[in-house]
């Protein structure tokens, strides 16, 4: 779903299966080396070694920049590793171009850009879905971007659609009113978060007279006042070719594509003088933020928020220079030294000491200013003033005593590897180019940035700490929760009827979509039938290897049959406890050594427990794969779970649990699952304070010994490696992993459907947004209806803009920011689930509308044209996903885990194509039960006083 950006650690844009943009960090025009005239021979050697090891070639060497006569900047980069292409349009406007009174108008316009044009008065989400495009958008401080990734034969169609809405978007009163409700619902979701509320208060104090101090998404008060004329003028002033950057990355021919771009975009006119909307007038007059002097401030006393929530929070913000300053590389290296990993200075000072359960930070560098933001989650019963004092002392200690060359080199390696590893797919590569070009005006920034990072010395890091991280410059915020999060769960009347005058409109016919769809060859390109090589060792370990030389990286996914389904009744959370502590020490390495070995190479390794297993995720530069595999083998075979680390993790878990139970989505999920599955069922249990306190070290050791076995482990690797060498390496590292006895198994008991509608309302006081889960037990991966269910789900709620649910509940009525459905099918029967976020006052209507759509499809079925559209979308999305190494690796892995033929990687689309209308409608009759459904809405107590009928 489209939204606005949130900033994370990495210095360049990453899409988080979220979905949002991260910060960008830029350099001044002078070459970086001019800032460091004296470099020792040792430093020269280290920098050269780092450059050769991580940067075999520049990231932008085959990028071509073209500027059309109307001012449109075009960036093209050919990447021929898969028959897909990404198209992105970046506008040089964001919340920076706003002021109080019209805060959020850039975000509001971003939503309206999907509503249709004069030439195509149809929801653009339906057009993108018909193309099979993985499309979305976001608003940030300095830019707004729209992006889609498709099979290469649909490139021109995407270009035509983007050109159309650059010029011809219509802002209709009824649609604006509906979408304002959607935006307000989105903002209410953010308001549920104490971190968001604290950040908003601190940033307003840091930037009292600049738009960087305003929330990117806007405020409810301003959004409610937006008028059609305001939004239209904002659109006319900022959405034009001379204020935009078109980025295309993927499998295309540059010369031919540039001719197409000139044909499609070349006729669009330049804009007139741009401005900003005055809060007292709909006219666009001044350029607030572009020319106004920037005033930064700091407060001598902390901002204190005493509001409902869970857990104490500390936020500290230090103003930094704008993106064009040469200190940015040293600031980023500083951030990695302070907060990245177990060996980082602030982690050691705050988390290892037990004062905090988590510390995160990020450097943000934008066109007109920047800031360094540190967020600390306090440990149980810890005082925020004490934590703040320790934070200041730790930073001052680094400035006073400095840091080792080893620390600096490790931070530089981590930072550089993160940039490389974040560029494995074409969408991310285009995101990086778009960010650089729209923020600093130079798509080559990343190459210059990495060159400058390699030259950072310890003295440079100390210098930026002394220059920017002073107590006088900072602004501090405290969040102090005032009450408990959740009260009693109240039963609700059955949802047997609705008092709403809701009449679902007829679904948009595919013929109507085709009427507005640009001409395209709907025949998909054949995907190369490359399959992984599969090996099984004598101890039962299975590995799947697929060489891919497109980037100098390796992506690893793994699965161990040791998931939360094996949690004992009184020790819910044990499986996660084991997975989370594997990296905390082995017989030969302590936790800091493990963290240091990975950090020195910029590699990552993580274990995450799920219902049916533990997922292993790892990545590294190609030449560091032996180290990654060595650490993996050591921890799965020899982890020893030190008492100190287990207790530290327990306290962190207890703090995390407290925060989770303050989130409507987590509360709704828990209550929903426990309302479907009875006690003693493997899916019923969730961690509680009591269950976490019950877990002892011996329990962890015993669980690990029982469930972590080579014969229930699968590893899949995709990347730049030699097949025989990697197979031999894995055999050497894992061959002595021994098996004892038979692997533990579980048999899930059958679960009956609810006899009627079960409605439950867990109350979370003072939340701005409600979250609803609806559903019941579903099917497993082996169900013969599985493919038909996928097609059915795509029509019902697979997309929040083009599906039946999205078109009615979200798009027409504006009741929800996002509404989705899914069949969660694994080895065992999962759940059928519909999830939506609404304003509390809209929950009843949204639930009633959803039930009527379920009833309509259950009784009347879907149309042949809907089935064909859904099949096309699923096939296109699947083919696009295979171009992403992370998704490709996961698909290879899970096909093996489910016992499917490795050819399923390519058979899947054939199976979808063969699904018939009769099969989908039969699935609708058998799998959709609007009158036998569990409905859980977590939100404000006002809901408990309403009758949802």
Q: pLDDT tens digits for 689-716? A: 999 999 999 999 999 999 999 999 999 9
Selection from 270-274, 617-621, 938-942 with the highest mean pLDDT:
617-621
Q: How far is CA 695 from its chain centroid?
A: 32
User: Residue 144: what pLDDT?
Assistant: 97
Alpha-carbon distance of 858 to 864, in angstroms, equals 15
The H or E element that residue 3 is part of is strand 3-4
pLDDT class of 272 with cuts at 50, 70, 90: low
| Pick from 427-436, 483-492, 610-619, 762-771: least confident | 483-492
User: Residue 326: what pLDDT?
Assistant: 93
Angle at 151 between CA 147 and CA 155, to 5 degrees: 60
Mean pLDDT of all residues in the chain? 87
pLDDT class of 45 with cuts at 50, 70, 90: very low
For 789-835, give the DSSP string.
HHHHHHHHTSSTTTSHHIIIIIIIT--EEEEEEEEE--SS--EEEEE
Q: Which residues is 606 bridged to in the sheet?
A: 617
Give the total residue count for the chain. 949
Q: Is the predicted pLDDT of residue 54 greater than 60, yes or no? A: no
> Cα-flanking dihedrals φ and ψ of residue 801, to 5°?
-110, -40
User: Residue 116: what pLDDT?
Assistant: 94
Alpha-carbon distance of 54 to 239, in angstroms, equals 39
How much is the average pLDDT of 821-844? 93
pTM to 2 decimal places: 0.88
User: Residue 503: what pLDDT?
Assistant: 38
Report the relative pairing of strands 475-481 and 542-547 from DSSP bridges. unpaired
pLDDT class of 296 with cuts at 50, 70, 90: low
Q: Is the predicted pLDDT of residue 42 greater than 80, yes or no? A: no
How much is the average pLDDT of 516-528? 69
3-state secondary structure of 668: helix
User: Residue 549: what pLDDT?
Assistant: 87
How much is the average pLDDT of 570-582? 96
For 416-431, give the DSSP string.
HHHHHHTTSSHHHHHH
User: Residue 522: what pLDDT?
Assistant: 56
pLDDT in tens, 83-126: 999 999 999 999 999 989 999 999 999 999 999 999 999 999 98
In 627-748, the DSSP E strands lie at 713-719
DSSP annotation of 677 reads S
pLDDT in tens, 713-761: 999 999 999 999 999 999 999 999 998 889 999 999 999 999 899 888 8
User: Residue 294: what pLDDT?
Assistant: 64
Kindly state the tokens that stand for 13: 């844009």
User: Residue 523: what pLDDT?
Assistant: 55
Report the percent of the chain where pLDDT is more than 70. 86
Question: Which residues are CB-neighbours of 291 under 8 A, at least 6 positions away?
Answer: none
In the chain the first and final C-alpha atoms are separated, in Å, by: 29
DSSP annotation of 617 reads E
Q: Is the predicted pLDDT of residue 12 greater than 50, yes or no? A: no
DSSP annotation of 612 reads S
User: Residue 527: what pLDDT?
Assistant: 56
DSSP annotation of 26 reads -
Kindly state the tokens that stand for 616: 């292993």
User: Residue 323: what pLDDT?
Assistant: 83
Report the relative pairing of strands 489-491 and 542-547 from DSSP bridges. unpaired
User: Residue 519: what pLDDT?
Assistant: 86
User: Residue 345: what pLDDT?
Assistant: 96
In 693-763, the DSSP E strands lie at 713-719, 758-762
Measured over the CA atoms of residue 859, residue 860, residue 864 and residue 870, the dihedral's sign is negative
> Are 814 and 178 a contacting pair, CB within 8 Å?
yes
User: Residue 528: what pLDDT?
Assistant: 61
Report the percent of the chain where pLDDT is more than 90. 74
In 240-355, the DSSP E strands lie at 244-250, 303-307, 313-320
> Cα-flanking dihedrals φ and ψ of residue 71, to 5°?
95, -5
How much is the average pLDDT of 379-401? 95
The 3-class secondary structure across 152-169, one letter per residue, is HHHHHHHHHHHHHHHHHE
Report the relative pairing of strands 134-139 and 356-365 from DSSP bridges. unpaired
How much is the average pLDDT of 190-208? 94
Sheet containing strand 489-491, strands side by side: 489-491, 758-762, 934-938, 770-777, 831-838, 816-824
How much is the average pLDDT of 875-882? 92
Q: Is the predicted pLDDT of residue 200 greater than 70, yes or no? A: yes
Q: Is 463 exposed, middle or buried (0-12, 13-18, 19+ CB in 10 A)?
A: middle
Alpha-carbon distance of 6 to 220, in angstroms, equals 19
3-state secondary structure of 84: strand
Q: Is the predicted pLDDT of residue 531 greater than 70, yes or no? A: yes
User: Residue 902: what pLDDT?
Assistant: 87
User: Residue 47: what pLDDT?
Assistant: 42
pLDDT class of 513 with cuts at 50, 70, 90: confident
pLDDT class of 934 with cuts at 50, 70, 90: very high
pLDDT class of 381 with cuts at 50, 70, 90: confident
pLDDT in tens, 414-447: 999 999 898 889 999 999 999 999 999 999 998 9
Angle at 763 between CA 758 and CA 769, to 5 degrees: 100
User: Residue 537: what pLDDT?
Assistant: 95
pLDDT class of 293 with cuts at 50, 70, 90: low
Q: Is 222 exposed, middle or buried (0-12, 13-18, 19+ CB in 10 A)?
A: buried
3-state secondary structure of 368: coil
Q: Is the predicted pLDDT of residue 464 greater than 60, yes or no? A: yes
Q: Is the predicted pLDDT of residue 175 greater than 50, yes or no? A: yes
DSSP annotation of 275 reads -
Pick the more confident residue, 2 or 145.
145
């Amino acid at each position: 779903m489209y939204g606005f950006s949130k900033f994370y650690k990495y210095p360049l844009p990453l899409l988080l299966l979220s979905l949002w943009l991260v910060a960008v960090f830029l350099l001044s025009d002078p070459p970086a080396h001019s800032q460091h005239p004296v470099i020792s021979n040792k430093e020269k050697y280290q920098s050269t070694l780092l450059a050769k090891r991580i940067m075999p070639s520049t990231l932008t060497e085959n990028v071509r920049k073209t500027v059309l006569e109307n001012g449109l900047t075009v960036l093209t980069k050919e990447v021929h590793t898969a028959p897909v292409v990404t198209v992105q349009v970046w506008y040089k406007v964001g919340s920076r171009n706003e002021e109080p009174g019209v805060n959020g108008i850039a975000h509001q316009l971003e939503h309206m850009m999907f509503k249709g044009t004069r030439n195509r008065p149809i929801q653009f989400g339906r057009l993108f879905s018909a193309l099979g495009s993985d499309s979305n958008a976001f608003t940030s401080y300095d830019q707004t971007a729209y992006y889609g990734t498709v099979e290469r034969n649909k490139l021109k169609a995407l270009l035509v659609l983007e050109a159309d809405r650059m010029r011809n978007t219509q802002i209709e009163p009824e649609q604006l009113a509906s979408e304002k409700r959607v935006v307000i619902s989105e903002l209410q979701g953010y308001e549920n978060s104490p971190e968001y509320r604290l950040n908003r208060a601190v940033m307003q104090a840091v930037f009292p007279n600049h738009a960087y101090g305003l929330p990117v998404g806007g405020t409810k008060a301003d959004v409610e006042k937006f008028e059609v004329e305001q939004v239209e003028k904002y659109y006319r002033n900022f959405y034009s070719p001379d204020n935009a950057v078109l980025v295309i990355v993927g499998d295309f021919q540059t010369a031919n594509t540039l001719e197409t771009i000139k044909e499609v975009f070349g006729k669009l006119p330049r804009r007139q003088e741009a401005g900003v909307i005055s809060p007292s007038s709909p006219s666009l007059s001044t350029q607030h933020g572009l020319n106004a002097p920037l005033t930064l401030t700091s407060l001598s006393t902390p901002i204190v928020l005493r509001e409902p929530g869970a857990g104490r929070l500390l936020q500290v913000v230090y103003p930094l220079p704008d993106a064009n300053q040469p200190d940015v590389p040293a600031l980023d290296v500083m951030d990695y030294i302070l907060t990245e990993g177990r060996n980082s200075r602030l982690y050691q000072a705050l988390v290892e000491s037990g004062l905090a359960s988590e510390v995160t930070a990020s450097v943000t560098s934008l066109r007109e200013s920047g800031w360094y933001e540190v967020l600390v989650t306090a440990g149980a019963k810890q005082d925020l003033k004490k934590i703040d004092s320790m934070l200041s002392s730790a930073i001052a200690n680094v400035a006073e005593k400095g840091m080792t060359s080893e620390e600096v080199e490790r931070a530089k390696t981590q930072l550089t590897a993160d940039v490389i590893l974040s560029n494995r797919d074409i969408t991310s590569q285009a995101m990086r180019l778009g960010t650089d070009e729209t923020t600093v005006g130079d798509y080559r920034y990343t190459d210059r940035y990495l060159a400058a990072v390699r030259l950072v010395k310890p003295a440079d890091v100390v210098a930026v700490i002394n220059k920017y991280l002073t107590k006088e410059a900072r602004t501090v915020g405290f969040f102090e929760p005032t009450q408990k999060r959740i009260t009693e769960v109240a039963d609700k009347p059955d949802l047997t009827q609705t008092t709403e005058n809701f009449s679902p409109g007829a679904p948009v016919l595919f013929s109507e979509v085709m009427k507005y769809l640009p001409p395209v060859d709907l025949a998909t390109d054949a995907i190369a039938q490359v399959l992984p090589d599969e090996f099984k060792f004598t101890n039962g370990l299975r590995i799947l290897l697929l060489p891919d030389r497109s980037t100098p990286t390796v992506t690893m996914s793994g699965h161990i049959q040791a998931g939360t389904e094996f949690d004992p009744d009184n020790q819910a959370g044990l499986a996660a406890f084991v997975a989370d502590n594997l990296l905390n020490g082995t017989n030969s390495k302590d936790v800091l050594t493990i963290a240091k070995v990975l950090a020195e190479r910029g590699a990552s390794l993580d274990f995450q427990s799920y219902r049916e297993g533990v997922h292993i995720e790892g990545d590294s530069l190609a030449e560091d794969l032996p180290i990654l595999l060595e650490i993996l083998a050591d921890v799965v075979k020899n982890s020893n779970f030190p008492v100190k680390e287990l207790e530290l993790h327990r306290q962190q878990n207890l703090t995390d649990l407290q925060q989770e139970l303050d989130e409507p989505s987590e509360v709704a999920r828990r209550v929903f699952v426990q309302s479907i599955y009875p006690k003693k069922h493997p899916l019923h249990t969730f961690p509680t304070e009591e269950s976490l306190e019950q877990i002892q070290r011996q329990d962890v050791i015993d669980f690990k010994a029982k469930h972590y076995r080579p014969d229930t482990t699968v590893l899949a690797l995709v990347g730049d490696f030699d097949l025989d060498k990697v197979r031999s390496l894995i055999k050497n590292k894992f061959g002595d992993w021994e098996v004892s006895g038979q692997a533990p198994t579980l048999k899930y008991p059958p679960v009956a459907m609810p006899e009627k509608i079960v409605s439950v309302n867990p109350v979370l006081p003072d939340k701005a947004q409600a979250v609803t889960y609806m559903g019941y037990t579903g099917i497993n991966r082996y169900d013969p209806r599985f493919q038909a269910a996928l097609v059915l789900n795509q029509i019902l709620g697979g997309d929040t803009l083009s599906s039946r649910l999205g078109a009615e509940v979200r798009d027409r009525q504006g009741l929800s920011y996002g509404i989705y459905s899914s069949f969660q099918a694994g080895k065992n029967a999962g759940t059928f689930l519909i999830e939506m976020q609404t304003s509390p006052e809209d929950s009843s209507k949204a639930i009633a509308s959803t039930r009527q759509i379920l009833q309509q499809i259950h009784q009347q079925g879907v149309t042949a044209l809907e089935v064909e559209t859904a099949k096309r979308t699923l096939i296109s999305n699947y083919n696009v996903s295979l171009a992403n190494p992370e998704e490709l690796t996961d698909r290879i892995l899970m096909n093996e885990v489910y016992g499917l033929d490795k050819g399923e990687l390519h058979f899947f689309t054939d199976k979808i194509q063969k699904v018939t209308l009769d099969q989908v409608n039969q699935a609708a009759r058998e799998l959709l039960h609007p009158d036998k459904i569990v409905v859980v809405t977590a939100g404000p107590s006002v809901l408990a006083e309403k009758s949802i009928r």
